Amino acid sequence: MGFSAFLTWTAVWVAILHQLHQVTAFPLHAAALNDIPTYSDSTDREWRMQVDAHVKEHLATILRDEAVNRLDKLGKVSDSPEFLQRTFMSPAALRAGQLIRTWMSDAGLFTWIDDMGNVHGRFDGMNSSAPALLIGSHMDTVIDAGRYDGALGVVSAIAAVKALQKSGRLVDYPRPIEIIAFSDEEGVRFQSTFLGSGAIAGTLSPNLLQVKDKRGVTVSAALQKLSFPGTKESLFNLKYEPESVWGYVEVHIEQGPVLESKGLPLGVVDAIAGQTRLRVSMKGSAGHAGTVPMAMRKDPMPAAAQAIVAIEELCIRPQQGGSPATVSRPTANKGGALVCTVGEIASWPGASNVIPGEVTFSVDVRAKDDNVRELAVLNMELSIHEICRNRAIACTIERKNEAKTVECDKELIDRLSVSATAATNELFSLTGVQTTNEEPVPTLSSGAGHDALAMAQLTKVGIMFVRCTGGISHSPEEHVLDDDIWAAGLALHSFLESDLPASFSA
């Protein structure tokens, strides 16, 4: 074939592909349309329906089947052979980070690990200097965890970007996209949440580097053991500048029963409850369990027990109005407006025949109203100190973490709602589910703190919730339906598509 003939045939095929693009109303990229149904004597409408089904099947392979498989794989990466556990800078956390990097690379992203162990994957888009869209969640877990908390947000983000990349449309994205798998959100090891996202947002105090875990290892030492700098300078350098970020989006399991009760797979968050974490230490006098008379003991264990019951009472019937020191009008706490948890308690020396010399316990306080939360915490502190004085016990209360209530961005709420509605309708259409809900994507508030809580100090944030079975979380029983994982990925994919130039949008 001569060169002129080659050019002629090339022009003909370009014209044909252009016409097909006009008929189907979406781009015909070979990567997305392998084995596309052949155009035959059937009507245009029938052929378009066949092509549309082919594309949906292609998307489902990435957004559902592959995502489910990857969540299963990540759920097996653990520091314990008996249960799932990945904490900050643990061997399993490092293995999980490397696995996530391979998936990011597979989606066409440039990857790296920063000095706080966060895993990043970035694509610069059409304008590398434009403010970036950040998408993420955390890769650490609680002890004896489920496999979806945090991980679903990371895997869904990678799947959505990969779907764009495979369809050839990622190159047309108008700004950089950066996926971040945060190294620590749960705060299990150092009892200080958001080490990963807090470093990016610039909210971590340099003093945090000297906080110790139960073995006496500091954050700085834990980092340096793995060849990270672990210095104030490196912590400062992790902070993103606000002008470099367009916004932050997070996909997360609901960790509650509302979506399941409504029979709906997705919801959008309007606000995240504020939270305070306390560490209470009570010191008395250790002694022999059989020789020290009861009247002569300075036992911190009964003091701790009394304090824990007092905390519960303050949260069941919180006081309202006036000064925390003088108010005396308890009211019923309805609808979970205030929740308080003592989730950890330890004694020293911790022997059955020894009166403990010291007892420490944690307190987690959350409320959607910052004034309610702050008043409750102040009353707890007053009550605990009074109990210690009455029992001649030394007492210290340390505020380990404090975060104010965060309002999600109105624009992101609206855009996520539109995308989640389209995904929900698609899921119901494919599965034949009928619903009587007038609102296919409800707006919810989050009682759980997410990385968005820290990222809100840097940029506008939006969160999409995914239904979880029984509302169970932080447990091996945590479960998300495969089709709901698909819906979450499809919604995020739709969200990204809405930013594409009109001529490339599906």
Q: pLDDT tens for residues 458-505? A: 999 999 999 999 999 999 999 999 999 999 999 999 999 999 987 444
Asked if 254 and 298 sit in the same domain, the reply is: no
Number of C-beta neighbours around residue 288 at 10 A: 9
Domain stops at, among 53, 77, 95: 53
pLDDT at 191: 85
93 domain residue, yes or no: yes
Cβ atoms of 366 and 275 closer than 8 Å: yes
Phi and psi for 314 in degrees, rounded to 5?
A: -65, -30
Does residue 18 have a pLDDT over 70?
no
Token pair recorded at residue 382: 């007053």
- pLDDT at residue 402, as a whole number: 86
Residues ≥6 apart with Cβ < 8 Å to 245: 131, 132, 134, 458, 459
Cα-trace Rg, the chain: 27
- Residue 467 vs residue 20, higher pLDDT: 467
Residues 172 and 71 both lie in one domain: yes
* Residue 69 confidence (pLDDT): 97
Kindly state the average pLDDT of the residues 240-260: 96
Cβ neighbours of residue 313 closer than 8 Å, sequence gap 6 or more:
none
What's the number of domains the chain is made of?
A: 3
Residues 365 and 331 in one domain: yes
Tally the residues of the chain.
506
Question: Phi first, then psi: what are they for 462, rounded to 5°?
Answer: -140, 145
pLDDT at 330: 47
Q: What confidence tier does 122 reach under pLDDT thresholds 50, 70, 90?
A: very high
The pLDDT, as a whole number, for residue 10 is: 45
The pLDDT value given to residue 322: 42
Report the distance separating Cα 361 and Cα 306, nearest Å.
Answer: 12
Looking at the structure, tell me whether residues 292 and 425 fall in a common domain: no
Long-range contacts of 97-105 (CB under 8 A, 24+ apart): 97/139, 97/181, 97/183, 99/73, 99/74, 100/74, 100/139, 100/154, 100/158, 100/181, 103/70, 103/155, 103/158, 104/158, 104/179
The reply to whether 382 and 366 lie within a common domain is yes
Q: Tell me the sheet residues that pair with 445.
A: 271
Whether residues 133 and 268 fall in one domain: yes
Task: Say if residue 261 is in the same domain as residue 133.
Answer: yes
Lowest mean pLDDT among 20-34, 46-60, 294-308: 20-34
Is 209 within the bounds of a domain?
A: no
- C-alpha span between 293 and 290 (Å, rounded): 8
* Residues 122 and 173 both lie in one domain: yes
For residues 269 and 418, membership in a common domain is answered with yes
- Measured between alpha carbons, how far is 10 from 8 in angstroms, rounded to an integer? 5
Range list of β-strands (E), 170-255: 177-182, 245-253
Stretch among 365-374, 435-444, 448-457 having the lowest mean pLDDT: 435-444
Q: Distance of CA 255 to CAs 19, 206, 467, 476, Å?
A: 48, 32, 8, 13
The domain of 334 spans 275-403
Please check whether residues 439 and 377 belong to one and the same domain.
no
pLDDT value of residue 29: 41
Question: In CATH, what number is assigned to the domain containing residue 341?
Answer: 3.30.70.360
pLDDT digits (tens, 9 = 90+) for 223-232: 999 999 999 9
Do 424 and 335 fall into the same domain? Answer: no
**pLDDT digit string (tens) for 30-52?**
344 455 555 555 566 564 555 45
DSSP H or E stretch at residue 366: strand 358-367
* pTM listed for this prediction: 0.78
SS3 label, residue 467: coil
Q: What is the per-residue pLDDT for 295?
A: 94
Contact in structure between 388 and 299 (CB atoms under 8 Å): no
Residue 433 clears pLDDT 60, i.e. is over it: yes
- How far is CA 447 from its chain centroid? 13
Q: Quickly list DSSP for 280-304.
A: EEEE---EETTTS-GGG---HHHHH
